[in-house]
Chain A
Amino acid sequence: MTHIFLMTDTITEGYIILITGLSIVFSGLLLLTLFFKFAMPVMLYVYKIITKGPDKKIKEISPKVNDQFTGEIAAAISAAIHMYLNSQHDHENAILTIKQARKMYSPWSSKIYSAYRNRL
């Protein structure tokens, strides 16, 4: 890299670096702050609109489309969901694990070697 302030003495150059350096650090982190304060929510909102389309407001939802949907139906659906969520423990796992009690022979686990270990 090139030396920029070769002409001035070191202390002056020090002050120049002090001021510019501090302001760059501040502006850098300020930029980050501003981005996450303002730009990020906008970005997230735009992303949401792109992927899902804008949320409908309550007054935009026409009651005429949904006049078949009465409170009774809603109650029935919620009761069904409630029962489904609370009755899951009825379906128990049908597969039972049976552990083999007798191990297959293997020289690695053979008792005979540990019994005569001291005989070389």
Chain B
Amino acid sequence: MKKVILIFGVLSLLVFIRPVFGMNASSANVQTTTTVAQMEDETSESFFAEAVNGIKQFYSFTGFANAQSGNILMIFIGIVFIYLGIKFDYEPLLLIPIGTGVILGNIPFVAGYQTGIYETGSVLNYLYFGVVKGVYPPLIFLGIGAMTDFSSLIANPKLMLLGAAAQIGVFGTFLGALYLGFSLPEAGAIGIIGGADGPTAIFLSSKLANGINILPDGTTVKNLIGPIAIAAYSYMALVPVIQPPIMKLLTTKKERLIRMKPPRAVTQKEKMIFPVVALLLTTFISPSALPLLGMLFFGNLLKESGRTERLADTARTKLIDIVTILLGVTVGASTQADIFITKDSLMIFGLGAISFVIATMGGLLFAKFMNLFLKGEDKLNPLIGAAGVSAVPDSARVVHAEGIKADPHNYLLMHAMAPNVAGVIGSAIAAGIILSFLG
């Protein structure tokens, strides 16, 4: 250790002594060549003035000089996201990367040095490629497929209809966006927020509202990926806040007390057949949703086949984690203030909130409607309709919590998972339909 200090000391002494012996000729040359442009006309100025100039130039490159109120506002929002994620545990795996991304994307910088996410060639721009081209969402779906247990859905297939009913949120929002003056593809991308499915929303908006496509009237569509993704993810995180009041409003105390019979045991054979058959049926109906549904059921087959546990394990842990990190940060960073803070974003946020409300109401009311035809033990607890908005598994958890509040011994989680995963399938099909109509 002493030797190291000794050597370091000698070296640093040499470095400092060099100018004294006139050995700095080479380094001085380098300095003059680099700053020759500025030095030429002000060689006579004093050392002090030059230093001040340098500091001024440096200052013009810092964030302090370039900051605009929009940047500060977005950075504040990013910090709020991180706070919400940590303090209230609202989807921290999403909100913390997105919050950090929002801060990253809004650090003020001088344009033209390949720094920002929208500048071609910057590192963030390369990572953002996966969002713009819709690469990340299918990979996330692969992981979701490898995580999801469809057995409660196989045991009670009629719950699949609740997942379809909640998609009314998608189409309702789509119509609302049209009335607010968005063009058709933009409205389609905004509508999918009602699917309560982050990856699907990013996938569809990257195809429809990416700022590249040309509309029939000759104008290009707006780039709405950032606002849509942020709206979808933040409302997904806020499901525990949005849904309970609507659930209480639309169900009576008696309905909330309904106990459903436990789902039957599902054989492994059925679980293996499910992904294959569901893949065939859904993609034949809606081929545009192929990247999403294909990966979802592929992941599920990896899980259920019993032979590819290694692949399933990677898909549901490491792979989905990696993609979530990249997706979260880049989606967050895409909210660069000059592009994000517009009237459109505000309207998208408003529409997003409405879409969640419509979707929840659609699910609840359809469950009540189904109850008209069901008798005795088969009756559904209408609360599980609210789980039809996908937001896996948060909305199922909210349903469970509400059920527990009404009757401490009524465990709805297993039942709520069925419309929940059906909602994922439903919103992917809906995305495919919108894409085939408007793509």
Contacts and interface: CB of A to CB of B under 8 A. Distances in A.
Interface residues of A, number: 34
B439 interface: yes
B286 A24 contact: yes
A24 B429 contact: yes
A44 B270 contact: yes
B179 A11 contact: yes
Interface stretch (B22-30, B170-178, B404-412): B170-178
Contacts of A1: 436, 439
A10 B183 contact: yes
Interface string B171-208: 11011001100011001100000000000000000000
A6 B438 CA distance: 11
A35 B175 CA distance: 32
B140 to A, nearest CB: 21
A24 B422 CA distance: 15
Interface string B125-144: 00000000000000000000
A118 interface: yes
B184 A10 contact: yes
Nearest to B164: A29
A18 B430 CA distance: 10
B343 interface: no
Contacts of A32: 157, 160, 278, 281-282, 425
A113 interface: no
B216 to A, nearest CB: 6
A21 B435 CA distance: 11
> How big is chain B's contact interface, by range?
35 or more
B277 A35 contact: yes
Interface string A18-58: 10111011111111111111001001100100000000000
B356 interface: no
B111 to A, nearest CB: 35
Given A10-B178, A25-B429, A29-B163, A37 B157 contact: yes
A4 B422 contact: no
B171 A36 contact: no
B437 A29 contact: no
A40 B160 CA distance: 15
A21 B422 contact: no
Given A25-B426, A25-B429, A44-B269, A18 B174 contact: yes
Contacts of B165: 26
B216 A17 contact: no
B212 interface: no
B427 to A, nearest CB: 9
A10 B429 CA distance: 22
B167 A25 contact: yes
B429 A14 contact: no
B154 interface: yes
Nearest to A118: B1
Given A3-B216, A28-B164, 6 more contacts: A20-B433, A24-B433, A25-B164, A32-B281, A32-B425, A36-B154
7 contacts: A3-B216, A18-B174, A28-B164, A28-B429, A29-B161, A30-B161, A35-B277
